[in-house]
Amino acid sequence: MTVDSPYLVKPGKKFSLKKIATDDRGDFKDKDDAKGATQKNLDKLDELQEVLYAGARHAVLIVFQAMDCGGKDGAIEHIFSGINPQGCSVTSFKQPTRLELAHDFLWRHECATPPKGMIGIHNRSHYESVLVERVLKLVPKEVWRKRYDAINTFEKRLVDEGTTIVKFYLHISKKEQADRLRARLDDPAKHWKFDPGDLETRKQWDDYIEAYEDALGNCSTDDAPWYVVPADHKWFRNWVVSDILVRTMKKLDLKFPPAAPGLDKIKVI
């Protein structure tokens, strides 16, 4: 289910990340200018999530991908700060375990898909298998190339069974990544976030960009669209993601379940 956005990756077309500026601010002048609009979205998201949970007719799967320091954790923390935690789950996908590696690449992601009534957030996702595994040559080309079709089939099945899928690539510049890495080194409270391995990954920036472009281009569909979110400005990132989520969930025409018969005759004494 797509909504109109300049950041939508149009299905069936070759895609270049260079077309979307990482420092875009849309129609906003600055953070303060966007504050009211963003808060309005967060309030509406809270309302929609309550109806989603009560009705238990739909599930929503939200995928976040980004380069290192892209802001996935920050986006999740801010955008979903006001919703009922009983109706939301967050799964962060790290390096696969031995058990997970013993199954096909989609198995651990299938296990984490949200049930009806729930919002499921995936911090990294099944796309790692056409990103990290491709760039690091953990699997041969003939393997990862077939995975685009497998991913599209997997996502379409989820949609056909009642799950709405929205996927966000948080798009930062290489310069912004460097600034964020330095900030982690300079602040002792953020040292736990700094992984020296990120510097090795940074050396493969162009390879990852190419892998992302192929993944976005091959796997943005009408059923499960990709949106490339300008993310150099965290406040604008939060507005874009929250705006797209609210407009997507509104299209579900969510409703509270009907009241039990006879409620009008019940008296609480």
Helix (H/G/I), strand (E/B), else coil: 38:
helix
pLDDT at residue 260 in the model? 87
CA distance 130 to 32: 38
Q: Which residues of the chain have pLDDT under 70?
A: none
Q: Which of 109, 97, 225, 118 is nearest to 163 (CA)?
A: 118
Q: Where are the alpha helices (DSSP H) in 28-173?
A: 31-55, 72-79, 98-101, 107-110, 132-135, 141-160
Other residues' Cβ atoms within 10 Å of the Cβ of residue 7: 20
Residue 58 is encoded by which pair of tokens?
């739909």
CA distance 196 to 67: 15
How much of the chain is in helix, strand and coil states, percent to nearest 5? Answer: 50, 10, 35
Helix (H/G/I), strand (E/B), else coil: 120:
strand
Characterise 244 by phi-psi region: left (phi > 0), alpha (psi -120 to 50), beta (else). alpha
Please give the angle made by the CA atoms of 152, 248 and 54, to the nearest 5 degrees.
105
Domain residue ranges in the chain:
17-176+206-256
Topology of domain 17-176+206-256 in CATH is Rossmann fold (3.40.50)
pLDDT at residue 113 in the model? 98
pLDDT at residue 231 in the model? 98
